[in-house]
Amino acid sequence: MTPVLVINSGSSSFKYQLLDMDTERTLASGLVERIGEPVGVARHTVHAAALAAADGPAPAVLDATRTRELPIPDHTAGFAVMLDAFAAHGPSLAETPPVAVGHRVVHGGARFFEPTLVTPLVEINIDELSLLAPLHNPANLAGIVAARAAFPEVPHVAVFDTAFHQTLSPAAYTYAIDAEVAASHRIRRYGFHGTSHKFVSEAAAAFLGRPLGELKQIVFHLGNGASVTAIDGGRSIDTSMGFTPLEGLVMGTRSGDIDPAVLFQLQRRAGMSVDDLDDLLNKRSGLLGLAGSNDLRDIRSAIERGEPRAILAFEVYVHRLRAYAGAYLAQLGGADVISFTAGVGENAPGVRAGALETLGFAGVEIDHARNESAERGIRIISTDASAVTVLVVPTDEELEIARQTLSVARP
């Protein structure tokens, strides 16, 4: 067994997964949340079948989730709670300790373009990049510090959401603003969701049995946050998120692309402060702002009830997807593969069909029966005659982080 622990740490919570990298299956996973509140919550799930596959005998019990409620003042206390859960319910980290710990870090700036062994200097750099990601990097770092205290003997590796997009050309990442202002404040496009875009594009190539280096791909990662990436031969050449994850597609609660002059207008005429505008565009826009819910399932039910605002929200969402599909076909000079992933991308056939329905001229032909099928797992949803292969590819960011962690830390 080669266990790798993956940590995805937020400001008041963290998720963890223990994977056996011999089988690439999850042995246990959990969530520690409401850190710093009077009562915190910790959930720990043992994946019995995966454990049995690694250890031999068939499991007597199905996967079970144990929940504890107790005060969890900070991330270090959260890690102690996680270790208690492993000790009480397994798998035993004392018997088979992780060989490495992988950490999701949102912002690597222009500095980190590959998974990086955490050292005190790397911690300082991640902290310094909080300037660019004030909500995310400090939370990611809190997880790293707590995890290094809990597992002082093993290598820790930081895997950056921005790293995959470090192959963007200056033409793709430069904003057309005063160059000195941009340079002194490090204003440029960075791109996010890189771990998922990398995983999905590699999984698509492997599934089709075609060399990654020869494929032109477009990947739509449509979750609560959403982004699309143009990938040429395994390298990101354009992506819809920019300086922050606010740019690009319409999302659950974020506006995506908007004329920046709207902000001047709202500040001058509506008296909104910078914080008000930040809140408006990041937390009260997108599907939520248009139709009252950030969840596409609610939008779909509302459309069935004939609610005009839900119909409009869906149309705005799809209109933007189509615009990016066309733009990225142009940037790539055509595509071999278009993939959909994450909560919406994997589960909403109407969104997939809407995004691509006008692209027949570019050789994209959806097979509606395949698209509507309730099948799970990686699958083709284009017709056999379609020049572009359209796929649904379930993403697995934890597995990708574990793979990248091991690529750096393998003893």
- Binding map of ligand ADP across residues 242-271, x = CB under 6 A, - = no contact: ----------x-------------------
Tell me how far, at minimum, the Cβ of 115 lies from ligand ADP, in Å: 21
Residue nearest to ligand ADP (CB): 343
**In b/e form, how buried is each residue of 246-256, taking b as 16+ CB within 10 angstroms?**
bbbbbbbbbbb
Helix 120-128 / helix 137-150 crossing angle, nearest 10 deg: 160
Helix 194-208 / helix 397-409 crossing angle, nearest 10 deg: 90
Q: How far is CA 270 from the centre of its chain?
A: 34
Give the span between the Cα atoms of 409 and 156, in whole angstroms.
Answer: 8
Which positions from 278 through 307 interact with ligand ADP, judged by CB under 6 A?
A: 294-297
Find the part of the chain contacting ligand ADP (CB under 6 A) among 46-54, 137-145, 221-229, 325-333.
Answer: 221-229
Per DSSP bridges, beta strands 337-341 and 389-392 are parallel
278 is catalytic: no
Our CB check for ligand ADP shows the closer of 48 and 251 to be: 251
3-state secondary structure of 387: coil
Tell me how far, at minimum, the Cβ of 344 lies from ligand ADP, in Å: 5
Tell me how far, at minimum, the Cβ of 198 lies from ligand ADP, in Å: 16
- Given the residues 20, 161, 232, 396, the one annotated as active site: 161
User: How big is the site for ligand ADP, counted in residues (CB under 6 A)?
Assistant: 13
Give the span between the Cα atoms of 25 and 323, in whole angstroms.
Answer: 37
Q: How far is CA 38 from the centre of its chain?
A: 30
Structure-block tokens of residue 148: 């290094």
Query: CA angle, corner 97, sides to 92 and 101, nearest 5?
Result: 125
Tell me how far, at minimum, the Cβ of 299 lies from ligand ADP, in Å: 8
Find the part of the chain contacting ligand ADP (CB under 6 A) among 101-109, 149-157, 267-275, 344-352.
Answer: 344-352
Give the span between the Cα atoms of 390 and 367, in whole angstroms.
Answer: 9
CA dihedral 122→162→182→245, nearest 10 degrees, is: -120
Structure-block tokens of residue 400: 């990708």
Beta-bridged to residue 338, according to DSSP, are 218, 390
Our CB check for ligand ADP shows the closer of 217 and 341 to be: 341
Tell me how far, at minimum, the Cβ of 304 lies from ligand ADP, in Å: 13
By the 8 A CB rule, do 49 and 63 touch?
Answer: yes
Tell me how far, at minimum, the Cβ of 242 lies from ligand ADP, in Å: 18
Q: Which of 12, 125, 282, 347 binds ligand ADP (CB under 6 A)?
A: 347
Find the part of the chain contacting ligand ADP (CB under 6 A) among 6-14, 212-220, 342-350, 366-374.
Answer: 342-350
Please state the three-class secondary structure of 28-64 as a single string. Answer: EEEEEECCCCCCEEEEEEECHHHHHHHHCCCCCCCCE
Our CB check for ligand ADP shows the closer of 204 and 342 to be: 342
Our CB check for ligand ADP shows the closer of 292 and 343 to be: 343
Our CB check for ligand ADP shows the closer of 314 and 324 to be: 314
Find the part of the chain contacting ligand ADP (CB under 6 A) among 54-62, 89-97, 338-346, 372-380.
Answer: 338-346
Q: Which of 105, 288, 348, 364 binds ligand ADP (CB under 6 A)?
A: 348
Tell me how far, at minimum, the Cβ of 388 lies from ligand ADP, in Å: 23
225 near ligand ADP, rule: CB under 6 A: yes
Query: CA angle, corner 35, sides to 29 and 41, nearest 5?
Result: 50
Q: Which of 36, 343, 363, 394 binds ligand ADP (CB under 6 A)?
A: 343
Give the containing element (helix H, strand E) for 144: helix 137-150
Find the part of the chain contacting ligand ADP (CB under 6 A) among 54-62, 83-91, 255-263, 341-349.
Answer: 341-349
Residues involved in catalysis: 161
Binding site for ligand ADP (CB under 6 A): 223-225, 252, 294-297, 342-344, 347-348
